[in-house]
Structure 1
Amino acid sequence: MINLKPAIEAGYTGRGVEVGIVDTGESVGSISFPELYGRKEHGYNENYKNYTAYMRKEAPEDGDGKDIEASFDDEAVIETEAKPTDIRHVKEIGHIDVVSHIIGGRSVDGRPAGGIAPDATLHIMNTHDGTKNEIMSAAIRNAWVKLGERGVRIVNNSFGTTSRAGTADHFQIANSEEQYRQALLAYSGGDKTDEGIRLMQQSDYGNLSYHIRNKNMLFIFSASNDAQAQPNTLTLLPFYEKDAQKGIITVAGVDRSGEKFNGSNHCGITAMWCLSAPYEASVRFTRTNPIQIAGTSFSAPIVTGTAALLLQKYPWMSNDNLRTTLLTTAQDIGAVGVDSKFGWGLLDAGKAMNGPASFPFGDFTADTKGTSDIAYSFRNDISGTGGLIKKGGSQLQLHGNNTYTGKTIIEGGSLVLYGNNKSDMRVETKGALIYNGAASGGSLNSDGIVYLADTDRSGANETVHIKGDLQLGGEGTLYTRLGKLLKVDGTAMTGGKLYMSARGKGAGYLNRTGQRVPFLSAAKIGRDYSFFTNIETDGGLLASLDSVEKTAGSEGDTLSYYVRRGNAARTASAAAHSAPAGLKHAVEQGGSNLENLMVELDASESSATPETVETAAADRTDMPGIRPYGATFRAAAAVQHANAADGVRIFNSLAATVYADSTAAHADMQGRRLKAVSDGLDHNATGLRVIAQTQQDGGTWEQGGVEGKMRGSTQTVGIAAKTGENTTAAATLGMGHSTWSENSANAKTDSISLFAGIRHDAGDIGYLKGLFSYGRYKNSISRSTGADEHAEGSVNGTLMQLGALGGVNVPFAATGDLTVEGGLRYDLLKQDAFAEKGSALGWSGNSLTEGTLVGLAGLKLSQPLSDKAVLFATAGVERDLNGRDYTVTGGFTGATAATGKTGARNMPHTRLVAGLGADVEFGNGWNGLARYSYAGSKQYGNHSGRVGVGYRF
C-alpha cells in the first residue's frame, strides 16, 4: 500500500540512522523481547514510578477473529495460523512497544521483521506517569532535549492533545496561540543565552521550535483519533511560526481502501505539512500471537521508519529536505492536490527513496557534504516554484525531466543533469555543472566548471541545449569534447578557459586534409573565441586540433575547431620507442595496418560521402562493389580520438599477433609429441606392444616485459612392434588441446594428429630413424581490438612433419649406453583463410603456407637399474635453419582493399632440449614409463610431463 518494496529490495534498512521514540505504555515486553532488546530508555518523568500496560482508545473494541495483514508493509506480511489478538488482551506489551516495533523491530528466528527500518538505532523514551495512564508534558520536553543532545534527527510522537478537556499539564486549541506567544517571549526576542534557551524549552511549542531550528530535528506526530477536522494541537506550531514547517509532519490515518479512518482527525490547517498512512497493523513479538492494532499512533511510525530509510540513503538531508521529500512524493488521494482531509496524500516510500518530486516550500538546499568521489541521485521529475541550491563537495545527479521554476545555484561540488531542466542555472567558482548526454536547461551563468559529458556508448554525438542565454565568466572553464555541440537559443558570452578533449567515440572520423567541427552555436555570440583566456586540448591518439574559428550564418553564430588526423604509421613508430622490447615490432605493424585502412577511408570520402558518425547507425550501401563503411568509420574514429597514452596497447591489438604466436606454440607442441614417438622406437622389447600415454605441457614466452603463456594436454594411443630382426615401427593417434594467452588476447587450439616412426639398426655403425606426423587443428581466438572493441575468430589448418635421424650407440660405464643422435625435420604448415567477427578492426586473413627446416642433435644416456628398470637422461639442441614465419597477410574486416599483415613475437630459432625418464617392466607383459622434458631458450621455456602404460603380447 505504501510501495515499500523498492526500498527493501535496494537494501535499505535504516542502518546508521538514530531514531527517537517518545511514547508511553511501557511494559516488560520492551526489555524481554529480542525484537527491541537493549533499545529502551527509562524515566524522563520525575513522577515515574512503575510501568503499566497503556491502552489507547483507538484500538477496536473486540478482535474480529480474522488474520490481519500488516497494511503498512504489503511485502513483509506477518503470517501465522494463530488468531490475531487485540492489544488490550496482551498485558505484557504496551503502546510504546508496538510503535517501536513498527519503526524498527528486528527479525527474530527467521520471521519477517515487523519494522520498516530494522537496523536503525532506536532511542525509546518513556513518558508514562506511572499512575494515570497519561503522558506528562514536562517528560515529553525532557525527552526531546535528551534526544537533541544525542544528535537524534528523527523523532516519532504518537500522542497529542486536542480540544477535549485535559489536565492542567496539557494545553488545548483554545490556548495554543497563547502558549506560542509565551514561548516567543521566553526566547527574549532572539536571546540565544542559556537562560533564554531554558525558558523557551519550558513550553511545548518553544521546545519544538528550538529543536527544529537549532538541532535540525524532524518531529513526526500522529493526528490523534477524535474524528475532528483539526489534528493534534502539537502539530499547529507552523500555523504560527511558518519556518517550523520544515521540522514537523502530521500523519493522519487511512484504511486499506485509502479512505480516511473514521476515528482519525483530519489534516485540517496543517495540510501543507501533513500526509496519510495506514492506521492498522498486525505485529508479532516472540512468544505472542499477532497483535491487531489500529489508530494514527501506528500511522506515524510508518512515516518515521520511512524517514529513517531516506536518511540512510541521503545522510546529509536536513529536516527540511526530509519533510519535502516525504510530502511531495506522496500519492495524491481524495481531492486533487493538497487537501484538508488527506494532506499531500498517501505515503509512497518507494518514490520517496528517489528524492523529492517538487520544491513547493522555497529553495531546496542540498548540502551533500563529502568529496567528489561520492554521488547521490534524484530520479523523480521535480516541479514547483522553488529552486535548488547545491552545496558540499560530493555529486548530486538529477535524472528526471524537471520543471521547477526557481533558480539552480551550484556553490560547491557538482550537479549532473541527465534529463531536461527548466531552471536557470548559476555556477559559482567552486561548483561544477555537468550536462550528461543530451541534457538541456535554462539560461546559464558560470564562473565555475561547465562540463559536457557523454552517455551514448554507440558513439552518436549529443547536443546540450541551453534554452536561454549563456554567460561564461573569466574565472570558469568550459570543458567539452570534439563532436559535442553546445546549442544556445539566446546570446552566448564566452570567457574563461576552454578545454577541448579530442578523445571519445562521438568525435567523428578525421581525414588527412582536415575539417571544421563546431562546438558552440548561438543566436548570437557576443564575444568571439579570443575572449577565452586560455585554450587547451588533451589531443587524441591521431587527432590534431589546429585552431578555433568563428563563423556567422543565417541561423546564428558558430565556434568550431579545425582538426585533421595524424599518420598512424609514424605515430606507432614513435610509440614503439617507449614500448617494451617484445612489443616494438607488433606496435609498428599495427600502426602500418591502420594507416593503410585510413588511406582507403580517405579515398572513399572523396568518391562518395560517407555517413558522419551522427547518422552512421546503419552501414553505408551506396557504393557498388564496396563493403559497408559505417562501422569501419566509427571504429577508426574511436582509435583516432583515443587517449594517446593508450597508443602502445591499441597499435599492438591491431597487429593481431595472437594468430602467429598461438600457431607457433602449437607447432612446437606437435614437435614434442613426435619426439615422444622417436624415443619409443628405442625400446628393445620384442613382440607387439599397445601404448596409452598422456602428456601435459606448460610453456612461457617472455621478452622485454611482455609475456605469453601456453598450456596443453595430449592423450595418445598406439602400437609398437618389431617388424624385422633389426627393425622397429610405431604409430600413435593423439588428441590435443592447448591454450595460449598474451596481453588482451587468448587462443584455444584443438587438434587430432597421427604420429609414426621406424628405426632400423645397422649393427656397430649405428641406426637410422624415419619420422612422420600429420595433424589438423582449429584455433579459436578471442581478443581486444582498437580503442574499445572485441573480435573473435577461428582458423583451421594442418601441420605435417617429416624427420630423418641417425645415431650411434657408445658403451657407457659397465652396463649403460650413450647414444649420439642427429638429423633434420621438415615442418609444413598450411592454414585456411579466415575472417574475425565483432569488430570492423578485426582481421581478415589470407591462407598461409609455411615450410621450416629444423636441425636436430642430441645425446641420450641409458642406465639399467635392474633387469626391469632403466633410467634415461637426454640433452640436445634444435635450430630452425630458415625463419619460421607464421604471420598472416590480409586486412581489417572493415576494409575492401587495404592490406597488411599480423605481427608476431620473436620466437626463438634455437632451442635447447633436455629430459629425464624411466621405463619399468611390471611383469605379465605390462610396462610403464615416466618422462620429463624441457625445451627452450633465454626467452622461451616449455616444460612437459608424460606418463604411460603398455602391454606386450
Structure 2
Amino acid sequence: MKTKYSALAIAIISATASYAQADNFSSNIKTDLYNVKSDLGVYSRYQPISWFRPVSNSGTRITDHTRTTNEGTIRTVTETRNGVTTQTIYKTVNGVTTITKIVDGVVVSGPDMNPPATDPKPVAEPPATETEPEPVTDVTNPENGNAPEVEPPTTEPVTEPVTDVTNPENGNAPEVEPPTTEPVTEPVTDVTNPGNENGPTTEPPVVEPEKPVVEPIADDTPISPSYPIVIKPTQPSSPTSPIEARNVPRTGVVWNDISRGYDPEDPNNKANVELKGEGVTVAVVDSGFNNPTVARDIQNKFGRRGTILNTGRYAPADATHGIQVAEMVGGNTANGVAPRANLLLADITRVNSDGSSGLLATADIYNQLWNRGARIFNQSYGIPKQVTYFNDNPRSAYYYGHQFNQDLLDFYTDAVDKGGLFVWAAGNNRGERESSPQAALPYFETQLEKGWLSVVALAARDNGRLGDFSWSNLLPYSQAGLAKNWTVSAMGDYVFNVKGSNYIASGSSFAAPAVTGTAALVKQKYPWMDGNLIKQSILTTATDIGARGVDDVYGWGLLDVEKAVKGPARFDSRITLGEDVNVTIPQGSYAFENDISGDVGLVKNGQGELVLTGASSFTGDTTLNEGAITINGKSYGSAVNVGRNGTLVANSTVLSNGVSNDGVVVNNGNTVIENGYAASANGTLVSSLDSKLSVKGGVDLNNSTLVLTAEKDGQAQYVTAKGVTTEAITSDSEIKGEFGVVETTTGLLNATVNKTGENTVAATLSRQNVETFVASTDARDAMTESVASNLESSFSALDRQIDANNAENSTTFAQDAALLQNSLAAVSAGQTAVLDSLSGQIYASAQALTFQNAETVNKDLTNRLTMLGTLNNADNTAGVWVSGIYGNGKLKENGFGEGRTKTYAGQIGFDKLVSDNFILGTAVNYSTADVSFNRYGGKSDAKGVGVSLYGRWSDKNAPWYLQGRVGYGWVDSDVERAIILDSNNSSTAKINHKDKVISGYLETGYDFKQGNFTFTPYIGVSHDVVKRGAFSETNSQFGLTADKATYQQTSGLAGVRMSQAINFDSGVKTTLQGYVNHQTAFNNEDLSFDASYTGLQNADFRVKGIGLAKNKTWVGVGALTEFTPNTAWYLNYDLKLEHGKGKNNVLSTGVRISF
C-alpha cells in the first residue's frame, strides 16, 4: 500500500460531518414526557462509523492534538496557511511547560485519534460538485418519468423508553435510571459543554485502566512478550521449530503467529487469493448511493454488478461514505476484496427538516435485499456509544430495545436462522473497551450470535501519521469487549478516489467491508456454507495479535483473507455456542485446507465430499451421516462414527480416537486406527492394493463386508491372473468376527481372504479370464467377444512378462491395462462403451465401403455399355460422356456397429467405334465416400481416383453381345475413432492409410427383340481386389497397429434386362429400361486382419468387423433420351440388397455427345 500520492487530500471522517449524524432523530424518544436529558437522543442516532472530511492543501487549517506520555503531557497545535505550516509544541513536565515552534512547507493532517474535550474544528473546503448522471435505480415510478420512486418517510417511532422509578420531588416526571455498570465497564457519562451551548455534546477522554490493553510503543522499540512462545515438538520426531514467515512484526501490537508476516501493502493478506466473489450477492446498507454527484463513481467502481435499491431515500451531495464502504467489499479497485461480487446498494440516509441527516434502516429494506438474494450484509454504521451504556431492563430509560425497532430485530433473528450473516463496524472511539450496541447486539439478543460479526479497526496512531501503514503505527479504535467471541480485526485506513481526488479514510467503517468481502470469497469457494460457517472460517483463521487467544481488544485477531478462503481452522464452541459444526454439502467435492483444532465435533450431511487436507486435532466426535469425508495423510484426533450413508476415506491417516463403521471406510495406504475399529453387519471396509489397516485397541468385524480394489496410492494397478496378496487388516489384539462378504469393484477381479493368525486378515486379488468374464454378462455379442479375446491375448502376454520380471518396457501399457480392469465392471451392467471403443472394427468394416464404391463405378459403366447397345447412332465413330453419381446405404451385421455410408462420384469417358462390331472406351473417376459407425466405431473419409478401360462387342446381325471393364484405383482414407479406457481416460485416434483397388467385370447376354421391346437375359463375373495400407494408432497404448492387408472377392451373377423404346414425332427417342440380377461370391471375405495393441506389439490378435456379403441382389431402372442424333441424356437408379448386411442406393445421371 503506497504512502505517497501525487494528489493526496486527507479525509477526516468526522463524527460531526453533516451526513454522518442523525440529528433530530431524538424526536423518536419523547424526552419531555420522561424527563430524559435531551442529549440522550444522540445515543439513539445511527451514524457512519468512520472519519471523513476531505481537506485541501491550501487556505487555513488548524489542528490541536494532546497526548500523555510517561514524561508528561504534549500538546501539538498545527496551523497551515497557504501551504506554510507552523507547528507549536507545548510540552508540560512536572508543571513546567516549554514551547517549541517549527515552520515548514505544506503538510497534510489527519483525524485526531484521541480528541480532547474541546477541539477546534478544521475549516472544511466543500467538495467540488459536478453535474453527473444519476445512479440507475431498479424501480421506476411510472408517474414520475424516469425518476426513482421515493419511499415515504417511515412512521414507525422508536420504542419509547420506560422508567421504573418515580421521583416524587419532581412531580410527574420519572426519575432517570443511571446507565448500567454491568458487566464490564461503567458507561461513559455524557457531559455538556456549557461554554458551547449550541455545539454538539462531547465526551471526556476515557480513563484507561492502570494496565491498558494496548500500550503505545515507540516505533523503534521492540516488543518482548511477558511470556515465551512455546513451540510444541512434532511427534514422533525430535522437536523442531516452525518455519518463520517473512516480515513478522517485532514492534507495535504484539504479533503471536510467526507463520504469517505483515505486508503494509497487503495488510489483510489477500494478494494471492484468486477468488473474486463471482456469483455471490452482498448487500451494503449505508449512505450516499442515491446521490447524483457520485453516479459516475458508482458506475466506474461497480459497473453492472452494482444495483441501487429503491429505498425512497436520497443523500446530500457530500455523502460518499457508502461508496467507499461498497468499494471495499467489491469495487473494481485495489481496495475491492471481492471485485466480481454482485452488490445490492441500499441507501438508508434520513434527512431531517433542519437539514441534518443520519442513517435509519427498516425491516422492509432488509426484506427487499433478502428477496433479491443477499445473504451477506455489511453495516458500517451504529450508535456512537458502548454497548454497556445500555441494559436489558425493559423499564429502564437505557433499555437497549429502545434503540431497535422490533420488526428489525425479528428480521435479524429470522435471517440468521436461515443462514444470513451480518457484518458490523465496532466503532471509532479509541480507548473505549466496548463495541457499539449494533456490533455487540448478540450480548442482549443471544440468538443472533451465530450470524453476527463485529469488526475492530486498526488505524494510524495519530493524524500526523495517516498514510503510514506500517504495523508499528497501528492501534485499535473501539475494542471488542463483550463482543470478542464474534469479533475480528482488520485494517481501517485506506486510500480512496472519489470525484477524481484521492483521500485517506480511516475507521471501522472500512475494516468491516474488508471482512464482508472476505465473506463473499468464502461463499464463492463454499457455496453451501451458511452465515455461521462463513463466520467460523473468518474468525478461526485470523492471525492472533495482542493478548494470546481470543482477547477483549482484537477478538479473534487480524483478518487473514488467504487463510479464510481455505475453510475454518477451529471447530470452537465459542462460535458454535456449544454445538458441533454442521457441514451439509449437497453435491460436489470441497476441501478444508487448514489444520483444524477445537473443542467441538463435526457433523457431515449431504451427498457431497468434504476433504480435510490439514491435521485435525479437534476433540469432539465426527458424525458422518451422508456423503464422504476424505482425510489426506494427516492425523485425525476425533472419534469417527460412520453412518449408514456415509463414507470415510483415509489416505495413510492416523485416526487416534477410534472408528465405528455402519457405512463405508476406505483405506488407501497404511492407515492407523487407535482406540479400536468396530464394524456393524452393514459396514464395509474398502481396502486398496498394498494397503494395510493397522488397528490398536481391538477389532470387531461382525460379518461386515470387505471390498478389495486394484489401486495403490490413488492409481489403478494391473493385477495378473496369478494375483497379489496383501494384509488387509492387522490388530495388536485378537480380531473378533470375520468378513461375511468379500467383493471387488470389478467383476474382472477375484478376491479371497483368510486369517493368518489371530491378528491378521490377508487378502488375495487376481484377475479373471476376460473372455470368460464377458461371456458371463448380458453384453456379449460378436464384437464384445472379439474384443475380449483380443484383451485376453494381450493380458496373457503381459502376465508372462510381469511374472518373469521382464515388463520394464510395458509399464505404460500395464498402467492403462489397470484402468481397463477397473472400468470393465460396467460391462456387467450392460455398459459396453469401453469394449466397443476397443473393437477397431472400422478398419475391417470400412473396407466393405471400398468394395462398394468399386461396385458403384462398375455399375455406372455397365449402364453406359448397355446404353450403347440401344443408341440409334451407335455406329458413330466416337463420343464423349460425363456422369454424376450419388449413393447412400448401410453397412451392418449382427453383433457389430452399424455404419451409414454416403458416396459422391463423377466419371468422364471417351469411347470410339474401332470396328464395325467393337466399341472401346476409357474413363476416369473421382469419388469421396464416408462411413460413420455407432457403438464408438468411429468414422472414415475416403477419397478415390481411378481409371477404367471398357468395351462392347456386338453384331447387328446377331443378338449376342459381350461387354466388360477393367479398372485401377487409388484410395486415401482418414480414420478417426475414440479409445476409451475409463470415464476419465479417453483419446481420439486419427490415422491415414492408403489403399489400392483393382476391378474387373465381364458380361454376356442375348437380346430378344420384338419391335421396340427388348428382353435380355445375361450372365457375368466380377473380381475385386483391395490392398489396404499399414497403419498405427500411436496416441493410445490400446491403439491398433497393423501391417498392410489384401482382400479380394470373385462373384458370379445372372439376371435379365428389359427395355422399351418410344419414338416421338419430333424425332426424340426415349428408351425405358430395367433389370434385376443376383450375385453370389465364390469365396467368403470377412475383412478381418491381424493386429496388436500399440503398447504391446508382441501380442497379435485378430480384429473382426463387418464382412462382405456372399449373396446380393441388384435391381435398377433407367431412362435414355436421344434429343438429337448426336446428343443423349440418361438417368438411372440402382438398389443393392444384401441379406443381413444392409443396402445401397445409387443414383446416376449423365450426357453423351457423339461426333
SS of the residue corresponding to residue 636 of structure 2 reads coil
Q: Are positions 1:631 and 2:812 aligned together?
A: yes
1:804 aligns with 2:1002: yes
Q: Residue 393 of structure 2 aligns with which residue? A: 182
The CA distance in 2 between the partners of 1:416 and 1:697, in whole Å, is 59
Between stretches 238-247 and 766-775, larger displacement belongs to: 238-247
1:912 matched to 2:912? no
Length, aligned pairs only: 844
Other-structure match for 1:900: 1101
Match of residue 12 from structure 1: none
More displaced, 879-888 or 219-228?
219-228
| Preserved CA contact (<8 Å) 2:782 2:894 | no
Match of 1:850 among 1044, 1047, 1058: 1047
Is the CA contact 2:301–2:327 (under 8 Å) kept in the aligned structure 1? no
Deviation at 1:941, TM superposition (A): 1.4
Question: Which of 935, 938, 949 is the matching residue for 1:756?
Answer: 949
Please point out which of 1007, 1024, 1032 is paired with 1:827. 1024
Kindly tell me: are residues 392 and 769 of structure 1, through their superposed partners in 2, closer, same or farther at Cα, counting changes over 3 Å?
same
* Alignment correspondent of 1:601: 798
- What residue identity is the alignment partner of 1:541? G
Q: How does 1:375-394 map to 2 (within 5 A)?
A: 375=588, 377-386=590-599, 388-394=601-607
Residues 452 and 464, structure 1, Cα contact 8 Å, conserved in 2: no
1:151 CA drift (Å)? 11
Larger Rg: 2
1:663 partner amino acid: Q
Per-residue CA deviation, residues 724-750 of structure 1 (Å, 9 max, x unaligned), is 233142321324342342411214243
What is the distance in 2 between the residues matched to 1:509 and 1:897? Answer: 18
1:222 to 425, 432, 437: 425
SS, match of residue 866 in structure 2: coil
Q: Give the direction of change, closer, same or farther, for the CA distance of 1:671–1:268 in structure 2 (3 Å limit).
A: same
Q: Deviation per CA, 1:908-952, whole angstroms, max 9, x where unpaired?
A: 322222234445567797765544332123430122333455655
Q: 2:963 aligns with which of 751, 755, 769?
A: 769
Q: Does the residue aligned with 2:632 lie in a helix, a strand or coil? A: coil
- Per-residue CA distance 1:113-148 (angstroms, 9 max, x = gap): 9996765667766666665736589x7799889999
Partner letter of residue 275 of structure 1?
Answer: S
2 CA distance for matches of 1:222 and 1:755? 91
> Which residue pairs with 1:661 in the alignment?
845
Residue 463 (structure 1) aligned with residue 669 (structure 2):
yes
Counterpart of 2:39? none
TM-score by length of 2: 0.62
Quickly say closer, same or farther: Cα 1:901–1:875, change in 2 above 3 A.
same
Three-state SS of the structure 2 residue aligned to 1:590 is helix
Matched, 1:34 2:34: no
Q: 2: CA distance between counterparts of 1:884 and 1:918?
A: 35
Moved more, 672-681 or 543-552: 543-552
**Structure 2 unmatched runs, 5+:** 3-44, 49-130, 141-148, 159-201, 203-285, 307-313, 460-465, 869-873
| Preserved contact between residue 490 and residue 514 of structure 2 (Cα < 8 Å) | no
* 1:527 lines up with 2:735 in the alignment: yes
Distance 1:687 1:102, change over 3 A: farther
**AA matched with 1:936:** L
TM-superposed deviation, 1:334: 11
Provide the secondary structure at the position in 2 that maps to 1:429: strand
Alignment match, 1:678: 862
Distance 2:337 2:822 in 1: 56
| Structure 2 residue corresponding to 1:543, chosen from 749, 760, 764 | 749
> Higher mean Cα deviation, 787-796 or 237-246?
237-246
Q: Return the offset for 1:493.
A: 1.7
* 1:500 and 2:695 aligned: no
Secondary structure of 2:781's aligned partner: helix
Mapped contact 1:701–1:941 kept (Cα < 8 A)? yes
How far, CA to CA, are the matches of 2:516 and 2:1030 in structure 1?
Answer: 69
What is the letter of the counterpart of residue 805 of structure 1?
E
Structure 1: distance between partners of 2:1069 and 2:544: 94
C-alpha distance 501-465 of structure 1, shift in aligned 2 (>3 A): closer
Aligned to 1:10: none
Q: State the alpha-carbon separation in 2 of the partners of residues 329 and 916 from structure 1.
A: 84
Letter in 2 for 1:380: E
Q: Which amino acid aligns with 2:436?
A: T
1:400-549 alignment to 2 at 5 Å?
Answer: 400-407=613-620, 409-417=622-630, 419-425=632-638, 426-430=640-644, 432-435=646-649, 442-452=656-666, 463=669, 465-466=671-672, 468-474=674-680, 477-483=683-689, 485-488=691-694, 490-491=696-697, 493-496=699-702, 497-502=704-709, 508-521=717-730, 524=732, 526-527=734-735, 530-532=737-739, 534-538=740-744, 540-549=746-755
Tell me the residue number matched to 2:16.
none
Task: Measure the CA separation in 2 of the matches of 1:113 and 1:687.
Answer: 90
- CA–CA separation in structure 2 for the residues paired with 1:253 and 1:693: 89
**C-alpha spacing 1:302/1:512, structure 2 compared with 1 (3 Å):** closer
CA contact (8 A) 1:222 1:250 kept: yes
Change (3 A) 1:475 1:905: same
CA contact (8 A) 1:200 1:207 kept: no
Residue range with higher mean Cα deviation, 275-284 or 716-725: 275-284
**1:703 Cα deviation (Å)?**
4.8
Code of the residue aligned with 2:735 in structure 1: it is R
Alpha carbons of 1:504 and 1:44: their partners in 2 closer, same or farther (altered >3 Å)?
Answer: farther
Cα distance in structure 2, aligned partners of 1:916 and 1:564: 63
What does 1:938-949 align with in structure 2 at a 5 Å threshold?
938-939=1139-1140, 940-948=1142-1150
Counterparts in 2 of 1:807 and 1:362: CA distance versus 1, 3 Å: farther
Q: One-letter code of the match for 1:500?
A: V
CA drift at 1:824: 0.5
Give, as a single letter, the amino acid of the residue that structure 2 aligns with 1:710: R
Is structure 2 residue 985 aligned with structure 1 residue 784? no
Change (3 A) 1:917 1:697: same
Secondary structure of 1:182's partner?
coil
2:156 maps to which residue?
46
User: Does 1:133 find its partner at 2:348?
Assistant: no
CA change 1:565–1:68 in 2 (3 A) is same
Structure 2 Cα separation of the partners of residues 328 and 117 of structure 1: 25
Give, in whole Å, the separation in 2 of the partners of 1:186 and 1:148.
Answer: 33
% same residue:
18
Partners of 2:1031 and 2:370 in 1: CA distance: 74
- The separation in 2 between residues aligned to 1:211 and 1:593, in whole angstroms, is 65
**Counterpart amino acid of residue 861 in structure 2:** V
Paired with 2:1018 and 2:694, the residues of 1 have a C-alpha distance of 83
Moved more, 464-473 or 904-913: 464-473
Measure, in 2, the Cα distance between the counterparts of 1:918 and 1:465: 83
Q: Structure 1 residue 355: deviation in Å? A: 3.1
CA gap of 1:521–1:941, structure 2 versus 1, over 3 A, is farther
Q: Is residue 443 of structure 2 the alignment partner of residue 250 of structure 1?
A: no
1:2-22 deviation digits (Å, cap 9, x = unpaired): 9xxxxxxxxxxxxxxxxxxx9
